[in-house]
Amino acid sequence: MNLIKLIFFLVIFINFNIHAETNRIIIATTTSTYDSGLLKYINTFFEKKNNIKVHPISVGTGQAIRIASNGDADILLVHHKESEIEFIKNGYGIKRFQLMYNDFLIVGPKNDKDNCKSIEKKLNYIKNNKLVFISRGDDSGTHKKEKELWENNDLNPSNFEFWYIENGQGMGSTLLMTNEKRAYTLTDRATWITFKKRENLKIICENQPPLLNQYSIIAVNPKINKNINYEGATKYIRWILSAEGKNLINNYKVKDTQLFFFNYK
């Protein structure tokens, strides 16, 4: 068992042992909501107001869904609609609430002179010229979105050659490799803004409808694990969907830039 897997199982073990406490809730969530500092910022307000401690487990969307499906989290906060709907359909979640959004970006080397007229044309340009593309390759929401973008262009990443590299790690590590290789990758804007080692990269494609990055929040079904704090989960969800949650999300900025946009309806 490698170190990353060992740490992951230790986190699950520790969280499971505190899970039965009613003054704690566990959120299985994405790396972007955690690494951007958003959850740390807004959870402080919830904890002070409700005397409930919030413990995020920050992993890729696929892994977060597996954690919640096992009943090892009270709340799921991720960003892949199809997977979220399947999660509820299979009886693991109660109800999906659209919470907030930002967007994805294609970033690449600063010497790229090809204008991004559309995502489809840019991906074809990368493939046809065999330009190095770094994929997260970790079943995260970003990885799922990337595969959808290729597939919507009738391209199958499993058939790609040497120029397509699967990193198998998080967004920070993937951006670091992309920067070192002066390659291309898909990233969420929040991570891009907070990432420091990007001197060889620039934004290539942005502000296009296929790049919308929607986040949703779901209470885990208490029937799958008796230790799930459903009361605490519903209290947190009601709070984050309220006017207070809206203001906190919309007012959170890094480098004078708003990272997430509340859009519950």
Domain 102-211 belongs in CATH node 3.40.190.10 = yes
Q: 3-101+215-262: what fold?
A: D-Maltodextrin-Binding Protein; domain 2 (3.40.190)
What span, in angstroms and rounded, lies between the C-alpha atoms of 46 and 36?
Answer: 18
On the CB side of 248, how many CA atoms lie within 13 Å of its CA?
A: 18
Token reading at 235:
């209290």
Tens of pLDDT, residues 82-127: 999 999 999 999 999 999 999 999 999 999 998 898 999 999 999 9
Closest CA to 32 of 102, 132, 118: 102
Domain ranges (residues) in the chain: 3-101+215-262, 102-211
Fold match flag (3-101+215-262 vs 102-211): yes
Determine how β-strand 212-220 pairs with β-strand 93-109: antiparallel
**More confident position, 81 or 21:** 81
- Report pLDDT digits (tens) over 8-63: 555 555 555 545 567 999 999 999 999 999 999 999 999 999 999 999 999 999 99
Question: What's residue 221's pLDDT?
Answer: 98
